[in-house]
């Protein structure tokens, strides 16, 4: 087995779980693209020193975040509300900085979050490498640098605009292999009294729920308070607060500042203790995670094969990036799931990465109602169950898979 080096501290670590060949989580494709479809060997490991749960191998960021990146934040009402509420919280707690308030978002996507600051007349700017989504922000009047964020970009922004009072990143930090460079950039750009907030899917939720679908090419890291504390400290920053969130099936929002500027919240210490009880700082924890994942794979396949043999129509609900891991790891193709409905126009008419199940418009779910629907967009379960009461009333059954397989 090749030697892996921790992306944070460079210590060697072993792979703990191998998923085999995986395509890009967001690599929805047309039939004529199948011969050139991209695959990589996906595995994860845990470094006992940095306590970072990480992919052993992943495609280059350029392969994932490019001119045709499929995700627009503004297309989800739920996420728009989420960002609006948090922007209000940020504005009500702006740090006392010497200069004019300046908010920077890393991975600003289509500018949905920054629009909240711009609307309030607060100076702000975004940094976004995917050109198509960045252009959408620029068209909406949000100053955006089309680039990956790193130390050099941080220096350029600081030279041109001064220090940032607030830096923010949502579902971005976990995507970036060279994360030390991001943290270094943040400590360059952040005002001495400034705060850096970031939120990402939380390792604690993944372990509690067995939600291994959070592991795909774009999620290079799954953070915990332990690992964030380690990487922050290496780069002159302190973790001073953490707040659990329900987004993306369970996330954590971290607050950081320059070392020694502000005190660590009571809540942070409590969550650190909770992580110790859950074993997020220990390699052994991930051995039982592996057993759980294998069990889910076997049970899901057994169920789908049984339904196929009984002649039932089984569809999927929500062509998520996450489902790419489940479908490929379990080897589920269109012989087991006929189609997956999704409301995103850019995914409709395409095939799922690797397993080539047709993605169809939502109208198909209404017109050709399946007997069973696998809830791939489980992170939106409340909203979907609410919307689809008629499906259940008419005898339709949901299949969910975390923390165990359930037919509802």
- Footprint of ligand TYD (CB under 6 A): 318-322, 342-344, 347, 362, 377, 379-380, 383-384
Number of H helices, E strands in the chain: 14, 19
Residue with tokens 């909770």: 274
Q: Which is nearer to ligand TYD, 82 or 347 (CB)?
A: 347
Q: What are phi and psi of 350, to 5 degrees?
A: -100, 180
CA distance 182 to 196: 12
CA separation for the pair 8, 178 (Å, rounded): 8
Query: For residues 274 and 226, is the Cβ–Cβ distance under 8 A?
Result: no
R_g of the chain computed on alpha carbons: 21
Minimum CB–partner distance for residue 350 and ligand TYD (Å)? 11
Cβ nearer to ligand TYD, comparing 170 with 195: 170
Report, in Å, the least distance between residue 30 CB and ligand TYD. Answer: 17
Considering the complex, state which of residue 262 and residue 362 has its C-beta at the smaller distance from ligand TYD.
362
H or E stretch covering 127: strand 123-127
Residue with Cβ nearer ligand TYD (188 or 206): 206
Cβ neighbours for 385, distance < 8 A, ≥ 6 positions apart: 392, 398
Q: How far is the CB of 383 from ligand TYD (least distance, A)?
A: 5
Closer to ligand TYD by Cβ: residue 145 or 253: 253
Burial 209-248, CB ≥16 within 10 A → b, else e: bbbbbbbbbbbbbbbbbbbbbbbbeebebbbbbbbebebb
The residue behind tokens 């995507």 is 175
Whole-number minimum distance, CB 111 to ligand TYD, in Å?
18
Angstrom CA distances, 23 to 121, 178, 294, 311, 370, stand at: 43, 21, 20, 30, 27
Report the nearest approach of ligand TYD to the CB of residue 29 (Å).
15
User: Quick one: 44 or 189, whose CB is closer to ligand TYD?
Assistant: 44
Q: How far is the CB of 124 from ligand TYD (least distance, A)?
A: 24
Cβ atoms < 10 Å from Cβ of 309: 8
Q: How far is the CB of 362 from ligand TYD (least distance, A)?
A: 6
- Pick between residue 130 and residue 268 the one whose CB is nearest to ligand TYD: 130
Which C-beta is closer to ligand TYD: that of 224 or that of 315? 315
Q: How far is the CB of 42 from ligand TYD (least distance, A)?
A: 15
Contact status, residue 329 vs residue 41, Cβ threshold 8 Å? no
Task: Name the DSSP class of 358.
Answer: B
Helices (H), 310-399: 322-330, 362-367, 381-387, 389-393
In the complex, least distance from residue 26 CB atom to ligand TYD, rounded to whole angstroms = 7
CB nearer ligand TYD, residue 67 or residue 78: 78
């Amino acid at each position: 087995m090749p030697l892996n080096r921790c992306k944070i501290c460079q210590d060697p670590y072993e792979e703990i779980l191998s998923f085999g060949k995986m395509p890009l989580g967001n690599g929805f494709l047309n039939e004529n693209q199948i011969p050139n479809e991209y695959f990589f060997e996906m595995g994860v490991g845990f470094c006992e020193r940095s306590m970072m749960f990480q992919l052993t191998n992943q495609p280059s960021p350029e392969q994932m975040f490019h001119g045709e990146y499929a995700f627009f934040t503004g297309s989800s009402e739920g996420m728009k509300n989420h960002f609006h509420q948090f922007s209000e919280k940020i504005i009500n707690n702006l740090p006392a900085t010497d200069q004019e308030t300046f908010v920077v978002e890393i991975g600003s996507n289509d500018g949905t979050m920054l629009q909240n600051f711009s609307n309030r007349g607060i100076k702000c700017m975004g940094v976004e490498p995917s050109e198509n989504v960045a252009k959408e922000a620029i068209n909406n009047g949000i100053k955006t640098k089309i680039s990956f964020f790193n130390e050099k970009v941080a220096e350029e922004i600081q030279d041109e605009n001064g220090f940032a009072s607030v830096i923010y990143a949502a579902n971005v930090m976990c995507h970036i292999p060279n994360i030390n460079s991001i943290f270094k950039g943040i400590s360059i750009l952040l005002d001495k009294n400034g705060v850096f907030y970031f939120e990402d899917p939380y390792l604690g939720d993944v372990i509690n729920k067995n939600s291994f679908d959070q592991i795909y090419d774009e999620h290079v890291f799954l953070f915990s308070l332990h690992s964030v504390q380690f990487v922050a400290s290496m780069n002159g920053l302190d973790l001073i607060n953490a707040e659990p969130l329900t987004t993306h099936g369970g996330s954590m929002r971290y607050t950081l500042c320059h070392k020694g500027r502000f005190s660590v919240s009571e809540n942070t210490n409590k969550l650190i203790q909770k992580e110790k009880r859950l074993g997020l700082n220990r390699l052994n924890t991930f051995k039982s995670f592996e057993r759980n994942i294998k069990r889910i794979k076997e049970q899901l396949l057994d169920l789908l094969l049984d339904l196929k043999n009984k002649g039932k129509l089984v569809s999927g609900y929500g062509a998520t990036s996450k489902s790419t891991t489940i479908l490929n790891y379990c080897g589920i193709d269109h012989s087991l799931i006929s189609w997956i409905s999704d409301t995103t126009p850019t995914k409709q008419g395409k095939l799922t990465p690797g397993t080539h199940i047709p993605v169809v418009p939502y109208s198909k779910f209404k017109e050709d109602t399946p007997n069973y629907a696998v809830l791939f967009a489980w992170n939106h379960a409340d909203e979907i169950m609410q919307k689809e009461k008629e499906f259940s009333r008419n005898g339709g059954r949901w299949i969910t898979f975390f923390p165990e397989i359930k037919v509802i």
